[in-house]
Amino acid sequence: MSTTPQLSATYKRQRAMSTIGAFGAVMTSSTPVAMGFLVIPGSEHFGVTKAQFLIYFTLFLVTSALMFSVTGRIMNRVGIRIVLIVGGLISSLAWVAMAFAPNIYVYYFLAFLMGIGASGNNLLPAKSLVMGWHVHNRRGTVLGIVATGAAFGGLIIGFIFPKVMAAGGFVGGAIGVGVMVFICSVVTGVLLVRNPPRAGEENADAEAVDTTTKDNRKAAIKGFGFTIVLLAIGSFLFSLEGAFGSMQAAVYPSFGFDLASAGLMISFYSICGIVAKPLLGFLHDKLGVKPLFIVLVALFILGLPALALSMQLGLNLTYPILAIAALSLSIPGVIIPLVAVNAAGHQRFPSVYGFMLTGSFIGTGLGAPAWGLVFDLTGSFTLAMYAGGALGLLGLLLAYIGLKRGIKVRAAEGETSTTGIFLPEDGETGYEESEELTAEAAAAVVGDLDGDSRPEVAPVK
């Protein structure tokens, strides 16, 4: 085994700056919180019902979902930075234009354009930056910290937007969303973000795969189709369960909690979600494959299903179980992207994760109505919470199968892993053995969040 030389100061500075930029891009994904402030004044502004006004949100969501896979492939071609900047420009300018739209139909059209830009200015470039720059064995911890950007963005919106709406009404609110998108994606993209080194470039890691030409991109993704399908379906299932996050304000009162208690529980859940993401990333970095997935299975069982049972029986366990639920519902945002990058390698990650986000956004669009339908049919959200836990477990199974499949393909290609985890010594039979190698590698490698040195490369036959 060979050790990669110490990294240059320039490389470490660009990586640190890009990581901060990724945090900003993740903050952009919190803008739907701000969009909620626009519903009432927006419907009054255009003289339409709230349902008619919210058609724009569906257009935005569907457009983004359909564009993610395309945007991921564009990132592999031209780089992450330019996609982040252009996507941010499209979205921010669309929001400014939406503020002055003459009628609801123009507003709808501009929402379509805004959705195109949104596919390239938040989660996809942010997590691709983390995967590309952090090739050391603490990648998961870094991703977990970066993923908290959405929660911090939501907190900022909660403090600022009531004042923005009071001062500027619908027009001021729409412009405010555009300004936030511009700062968090365009400004950070220009000033902070740099593309991770590609294969053949200076400081490129041993895991890098050449995707600079069309033929190379086709060759790189060959054999990973089944893995992509499994991970995309898994992401869809996770999002159906994840609708709980947006339905909490309705769920808690249905179990007899008053509005004050419901508000306190939502705040507690949000705080737990902030803590959960770095914790999950840390668990990914420290555990082998089997221990990690065993922990994840336990979290899904003790999450929403246990929360529903506790509230049904009136047990005094709501807050502890709510903390576990926050952990389990954070898995798709942290662990599943890490599963994807270990299954396919960071150079393929934008393409793979683009398809996963397509599945996730479709699930998000269907999840909330499905929960509402369950309540209409049964009179409670209990069945939805039990079904959500079951769907989460099924999604986890698909992720595990996708991981094993991707590992076999990478092993057959003779690729290497710079994180020292997950890749087997034997592509056919060494998967279980690789978990033992993981522990040895973790003990032998000295690394930190800044990643002053890269771990030893794990070869694959």
- Per-residue model confidence as pLDDT tens digits over 298-326: 988 888 899 999 888 877 788 899 999 88
Summarised one tens digit per residue, pLDDT across range 53-82 is: 988 988 898 899 999 989 998 998 899 999
Helix/strand number for the chain, H first, E second: 21, 0
Domain-located, residue 208: no
Domain-located, residue 203: no
Domain-located, residue 211: no
Burial (CB count <10 Å: 0-12, 13-18, 19+), residue 8:
exposed
pLDDT score of 3 more than 60: no
pLDDT score of 287 more than 70: yes
How far is CA 255 from each of CA 176, 287, 295, 379, rounded to the nearest angstrom? Answer: 36, 37, 28, 11
pLDDT score of 46 more than 90: yes
Residues 190 and 231 in one domain: no
Domain boundary among the residues 196, 228, 246 is at 196
pLDDT value at residue 445: 30
How would residue 450 be classed by pLDDT, with cut points 50, 70 and 90? very low
Lowest mean pLDDT among 25-29, 266-270, 325-329: 266-270
Domain-located, residue 232: yes
Average pLDDT over residues 242-263: 83
What CATH number is given to the structural domain containing 308? 1.20.1250.20
pLDDT score of 117 more than 80: yes
Half-sphere exposure (CA, 13 Å, Cβ side) for 331?
Answer: 28
Residues 185 and 236 in one domain: no
Residues 11 and 153 in one domain: yes
Q: Do residues 104 and 120 touch, judged by C-beta distance below 8 A?
A: no
Residues 230 and 354 in one domain: yes
Please calculate the CA angle 431-432-438 and round it to the nearest 5 degrees: 90
Structure tokens at 100: 């002055």
Structure tokens at 128: 């691709």
Residues 230 and 278 in one domain: yes
Who's near 40: CB < 8 A, 6+ residues apart?
50
Residues 340 and 235 in one domain: yes
Identity at 309, one-letter amino acid code: L
Report which of 193, 192, 186, 26 is spatially closest to residue 95, judged by C-alpha positions: 186
pLDDT value at residue 6: 72
Lowest mean pLDDT among 92-106, 146-160, 435-449: 435-449
Q: What number of other Cβ atoms are within 10 A of residue 460's Cβ?
A: 20
Q: Find the radius of gyration of the CA atoms of the chain.
A: 22
Domain-located, residue 206: no
Residues 404 and 268 in one domain: yes
Q: Do residues 41 and 170 touch, judged by C-beta distance below 8 A?
A: yes
Domain-located, residue 369: yes
Report which of 406, 344, 70 is spatially closest to residue 209, judged by C-alpha positions: 344
Who's near 363: CB < 8 A, 6+ residues apart?
235, 236, 237, 238, 239, 240, 242
Count of the separate structural domains present in the chain: 2
Residues 316 and 400 in one domain: yes
The DSSP symbol for 182 reads I
Lowest mean pLDDT among 116-130, 353-367, 426-440: 426-440
Domain-located, residue 334: yes
Domain boundary among the residues 138, 162, 196 is at 196
Burial (CB count <10 Å: 0-12, 13-18, 19+), residue 102:
exposed
Please calculate the CA angle 56-62-66 and round it to the nearest 5 degrees: 145
Range of the domain at 140: 1-196
Residues 287 and 429 in one domain: yes
Residues 115 and 149 in one domain: yes
Half-sphere exposure (CA, 13 Å, Cβ side) for 392?
Answer: 30
pLDDT score of 217 more than 70: no
pLDDT value at residue 342: 86
pLDDT value at residue 47: 94
Summarised one tens digit per residue, pLDDT across range 158-183 is: 888 888 999 999 999 999 999 999 99
Residues 1 and 90 in one domain: yes
Residues 226 and 345 in one domain: yes
pLDDT value at residue 200: 66
Domain-located, residue 213: no
